[in-house]
Amino acid sequence: MKRYVKGDFPVSNVRRFLEPGPVVLVSSAWKGETNIMTMGWHMIMEMEPSLIGCYIWTENHSFELIRKSKECVINIPEVELATTAVKIGNCSGLDVDKFEKFKLTQVEGEEVKAPLIKECFANFECKLVDTSLINKYSLFVFEVVKAHVAKSPKFPKTIHYRGDGLFMIAGETVSKYRKLFKPEML
């Protein structure tokens, strides 16, 4: 398993890791219980404040833990954790302690009680800031209040779900289009 050395990262820039569309692991805690869910439906909604929209299904055991604690951590796994991410999505926190079952390490957060997953490339501590879309759309709007990102690699090899059990693995990152951007667009 990779061991990352992480540093603080500006919350307004978490788009650099979420906008490409990776599968993420969402960790949560409530009254002594922790859980992890695998999530593919999320989007950046604003940079300052740093807002993320996340679809969390009512059938997910994490749904109530996050709704009640009003917190979570969005963790970004690299491809080495793909098997674990699938298995996490395939079982329920009702039946198993996922940190224990998948030998993942809890790291204490600075701003939230939900645990960070040490084995992930990045960890974004989030507060639930808008509950009004949960009933209609299962849409949780979070604000990232603290971000921890590995210092290396510069660009994580994330996994991107295509449905039907297929994943696209992040390919190369290219800078050759950068010169086409107006400075104010960067």
Q: In 10 A of CB 173, how many CB atoms?
A: 9
> Can residue 55 be called a binding residue for a copy of itself (CB under 8 A)?
yes
The Cα–Cα gap between 173 and 165 comes to: 25
> Can residue 94 be called a binding residue for a copy of itself (CB under 8 A)?
no
Q: Are 102 and 80 a contacting pair, CB within 8 Å? A: no
> Can residue 93 be called a binding residue for a copy of itself (CB under 8 A)?
no
> Can residue 63 be called a binding residue for a copy of itself (CB under 8 A)?
no
> Can residue 171 be called a binding residue for a copy of itself (CB under 8 A)?
yes
Q: Considering the complex, state which of residue 1 and residue 133 has its C-beta at the smaller distance from a copy of itself.
A: 133
Q: Are 50 and 9 a contacting pair, CB within 8 Å? A: no
Residue from 2, 58, 83, 152 touching a copy of itself (CB under 8 A): that is 83
The Cα–Cα gap between 73 and 106 comes to: 11
The closest alpha carbon to 74, from 46, 40, 48, belongs to 40
> Can residue 135 be called a binding residue for a copy of itself (CB under 8 A)?
no
> Can residue 49 be called a binding residue for a copy of itself (CB under 8 A)?
no
Q: Are 104 and 110 a contacting pair, CB within 8 Å? A: no
Residue from 7, 8, 13, 105 touching a copy of itself (CB under 8 A): that is 13
The Cα–Cα gap between 122 and 151 comes to: 10
Residues that bind a copy of itself (CB under 8 A): 13, 15-17, 19-22, 40-46, 51, 53, 55, 82-83, 86-87, 89-90, 133, 137, 139, 141, 155, 157, 160-175, 177-182, 185-186
